[in-house]
Each structure stands twice: as structure tokens, then as C-alpha cells.
Amino acid sequence: MQEHIDDDQLDEEQELFEHYNFIADKGQEFVRIDKFLMDRIPNTSRSKIQTAAASGTILVNSKAVKSNYKVKPLDEISIVLPYPPRVLELIPENIPIDIIYEDNDVLVLNKQANMVVHPGYGNYTGTLVNALVYHLDNLPDNNLNHRPGLVHRLDKNTTGIMVIAKTEHAMNHLSNQFFERTTERRYNAIVWGDFEEDEGTVTGNVGRSLKNRKVMNVFPDSDFGKHAVTHYKVLQRFGYVTLIECKLETGRTHQIRVHMKHIGHTLFNDFEYGGDSILKGTSFAKYKQFINNCFEILPRQALHAKSLGFTHPTTGEWMHFDSELPEDMQMVLKKWETYVANRED
């Protein structure tokens, strides 16, 4: 499947609609177009897509279709959706935050799954920033469009440790540490497949995919993208999947997810990078059911920002914070331990 999101720079008054274009794969199964688009457009809903169909703004092979149209192989699909109104102010929301450390300069928290870090199109409320502005007063703004206190971020469905700056000084100091790569970030991930080696390094420029603007790609022999380095180490092997630790030298968007896919070890249940299909293992129905059960327990990419180290912006002290794996990842690992122990080779 090929996809392109029109992201030309428009005047503010013109930037009222988002345009998506898709070409269905050769092996595409017949599926309702509202479900097909739901799975591929971020932060949308079936009712929003059905409204677009009723308005005649979903085209298949240049003809308007209804929401119950069945997508066929190689269909050329386009849809136009209205952007929601721009955010004029941040709305404080009493959303619980798992705070593990706080002083006058910084706050360290353990982000939960299914939480967007900052407001944007389709996510004006319910974000971590909405929670922060409720719980904290006078957070510094980094001039990045309503992202007060943020010096780094995690994907919506990635869990783990984040640091928030509470003062202008802390923001400048921490931002510089992330830029200069003097922080220490370690992640745990469950990935498909086994490794021949116990540790290794992935180096390759990471940039927005030229075919699908929602995801990133690795450009190993090109100047395109930004330099990215991920060090990994095997923690536990299960044959068909592996628990690894990743240490980041750089912090590119989706870096671990795209680097692991690049070397043939896509993250377990990572929909955007194809990890929500069985990539390793048998064809037995019992195994398929086992994997589906794991996907239900862990309905997201298996990635957790386990630890973070940085220099305190005021005291100069090295601060290091660690966290337990979230319950969903722990449960899936226990299921794999049981599966391997009982597997008949």
C-alpha cells in the first residue's frame, strides 16, 4: 500500500482540510472503506469518515462512494477531511499523572499508554500537556505551539520515563542536554525474531517516508533524513520474539521502531510498522490464537522508556530514574515464558 498526505505549506485561512491518498495493495482483502480508512488515518473516527462519504468527499478511482463500499486490490482512494478548529488556549484537565520525582526545577513522570504528549490536530484535549497545566503553575513555553515544559516526547502508545522542565532555566538547560546527547535513555522492547548476536548497533539516517507520511524510514546510504544511532542488547530470548534493551545516542521520531524494522526485528504489535501480524513462528491455529491473545493484552507497540539520566539544571547533580515494565508488557512476557516452556519442537 502506498500513501501520501498532502502537507504543502498553506496560508492559515486555507489550511482547513487534510488530504489523504492511498493505493490498496495487490493482496488487499475486501473490506468496508470506512474500516480501511479508520485503520490508516490517525486520530479519526468511523462517524467522521461516514460523514465524509455522505458528503461525497471519499473517491475511489475518481468516483464518489458510500461508506459500505468494499475496497478491492489496487483501488486508488482519496479522502478530504476538515481540520478541527485551531487551539486558542490550553485547557487544564484533571488527568492523573504518575509523578516519581519533583522539585522546583524539574518533574519526572512515568507516562501511561494511550496518552498523546501534546495537543495537535485531532488531540486538543486529554494530552499530557493538558494534565500538566492543571497540576503545575507557570510552565515555561518552548515556543513550539502549546508545548509548555516539554524538552522531549514519547509516542502515544509508548510508556515510560519523561522529564518536564518547570522553569525557563531548566527548559534551556535540559533542551541543550538532549541536543548535545548528554542524557542517557534506555528502552525495553519486545521485537519479532531472534538475534544471532547478543548486542549490536544500528546506524542509519531516519526521515519521513517518501511513500507514507505517517511513518519514518531508514536511509542508510543517503543524505536524506537525520543521523540516528541505536545500540541494542538482548535481555531474554523466546525464539520467535526477543526482549531487548535499546540505548539511544540520538532521539529521532520513531527511531527504535524504524531501526528495528530496518534490521528485520519489527516491534511486537506495532501496527504502523507491520508488527501486528505474525512475522515469526508456526502456522498452527493454536499458535495464531496465542499471538492474538498477546495482542489483546498488549494492544500497542511493545516499547517502554525504562530509564532516563540527566544532569540537574541547578545543582549539577547526575539524576537517574528507572521504572518497572508496564503490566501489559509483563503479562505478555509471562505468556511467552509459559509458551516456550511448554512448546514441543
* Closest CA relative to residue 163, chosen from 108, 204, 203, 126: 108
Residue 27 CA to residue 308 CA, distance in Å, equals: 43
Determine contact, residues 106/59, Cβ cutoff 8 Å.
no
Q: One of 34, 75, 155, 276 is an active-site residue; which one?
A: 155
Count CA within 13 A, CB hemisphere, residue 138: 5
Query: At 53, is the secondary structure helix, strand, or coil?
Result: helix
Q: What contacts 161, CB < 8 A, 6 or more positions away?
A: 100, 108, 109, 110, 111, 305, 306, 307, 308, 321, 322, 323
In DSSP notation, 265-293 reads -PBTT-GGGTTTS--SS---HHHHHHHHH
Determine contact, residues 299/114, Cβ cutoff 8 Å.
no
Note if 34 is an active site residue: no
Determine contact, residues 152/250, Cβ cutoff 8 Å.
no
Residue 102 CA to residue 31 CA, distance in Å, equals: 49
Determine contact, residues 238/337, Cβ cutoff 8 Å.
yes
Active site residues: 155
